[in-house]
Amino acid sequence: MIFFKRKRIANSKIAIRDCSGKKAEIKNPGFWTAHRFADILLATSLFAISLTPFCHAQTVVKFATLAPDGSTWMKAMKQFTEETTAKTAGRVKFKIYPGGVSGDEKDVVRKIRLGQLQAAGFTGVGIGEIAPEARILDTPFLFKNAKEIDHIYKIFDGDFRKIFEARGYILLGWAEVGSVNIFSNSPVTKLDDLKAVKMWIWEGDPIAEATFSALKIKPIPLSITDVMTSLQTGMINGVYGSPLSVIALQWFSRMKYVFAAPIANAAGAVVISKKAFTALSKTDQTTMLELGGKYFKALTAQSRKDNEESVKILKSKKLIFTEPAGMDELECAGVEARQSLVGKLYSKELLEKVETALKTFRAAKKS
């Protein structure tokens, strides 16, 4: 700050002209000019401050995903990040780590908590590390079609967003992985056939554990990053995943059969740590949420199309799709699996709400 010493200058004058052009004299101009300059400086400084928006430093969001570079997920993510950077005038930028280079999803969650990463695209395993209640969306034989899936997501979206935020994360959008099928090297049409398969299970995934337990199968737990090697060595000869993901991960090259009936619908979500999100300006937060809704909703629609196309590709690669001998036994196993997870992942109340909402929706469709 500049201070002016008030000092009168004796017998000094300054000539100025008023707005009409008339000449006038001011005594003690030194005193007058110093004072007026200080007033003008203060006024213009305050005016400038009032016109200057609060300045947020550039934020680099480190984002990780298992999705391989070039996949549908990564294409959507790059579109989202590029438009976010553009619409925030470069205040928000991203560094993306695709293809599992940051580790399994549990590793990624740990790194976000440590501040080494700030955001991620997760499948159910990662979601479960943050908001296990949301894993109800992954439970076996819950949904019969895409309309049911969309209906339940719409009803419970707000509830799940609150859960994510309470755990320190902001949900930027759902990004569905898709229908999950069982892939094997021997034909599967009934439960007894599955018992002969050396089935992989994603290590530490309670949904998969409950599902295969209800199906009376003893799978082999492995990290997802170890699956391909284990297929090559023969340690396992059965996997599960969406048609698109099995192609993207190249697992299909080791498979011969596909159980045509989906055992579940795999959820996906893109999240950012609440700490990183709240460090952004309100305007940039709104931009990120709006673009998340735009791109990840579109990603779900595209994933469904890609999964349909992937089925055609798998058939062209001579994989044989086998139909189930009956669904009653499978659906009963689904009920058993969902009930077994009450009190572990979600409450009985939440399960009843979801199942009731589905029954109501189905009844309305029949009427």
Is 24 contained in some domain?
Answer: no
Predicted pLDDT of residue 32? 40
The fraction of the chain above a pLDDT of 70, given in percent, is 84
Question: Residue 318 belongs to what domain range?
Answer: 178-266+306-366
Q: What is the pLDDT of residue 1?
A: 40
Task: Tell which of 247, 278, 297 closes a domain.
Answer: 297
DSSP 45-83: HHHHHHHSPPPPPPEEEEEEESSPTTSHHHHHHHHHHHH
Conformation bin of residue 56: beta by default, left when phi > 0, alpha when psi is -120 to 50: beta
CATH classification of the domain holding 116 = 3.40.190.170
What domain count does the chain have? 2
Q: What is the DSSP letter of 3?
A: -
Same domain as 201, residue 86: no
Q: Is residue 193 part of a domain?
A: yes
> Is 15 domain-assigned?
no
Q: What gap in Å lies between CA 229 and CA 140, rounded to an integer?
A: 27
pLDDT in tens, 58-95: 999 999 999 989 988 999 999 999 999 999 999 999 99
Q: Which amino acid is at 69?
A: D
In a domain, 29, yes or no: no
One domain for residues 183 and 243: yes
Whether residue 203 is found in the same domain as residue 345: yes
CB 194 within 8 A of CB 188: yes
Stretch 270-280: mean pLDDT, rounded?
A: 98
Mean pLDDT of the chain, nearest integer: 88
Residue after which a domain boundary falls, among 254, 279, 297: 297
8 A C-beta contact, residue 337 and residue 211: yes
The residues near 60 (Cβ < 8 Å, ≥ 6 apart) are: 93, 94, 95
- Same domain for 293 and 315, yes or no, is no
197/189 Cα distance (integer angstroms): 12
Choice between 34 and 338, residue whose per-residue pLDDT is larger:
338
Sign of the Cα torsion 351, 295, 297, 224 reads negative
Report how far residue 222's alpha carbon sits from residue 224's, in angstroms, rounded to the nearest whole number.
6
Measured distance CA(214)–CA(206) in Å, rounded: 12
- Indicate the residue among 297, 318, 352 that finishes a domain: 297
**Phi, psi for 272 (deg, rounded to 5):** -135, 145
Residue 124, pLDDT score: 94
184 φ, ψ (degrees, to nearest 5): -150, 175
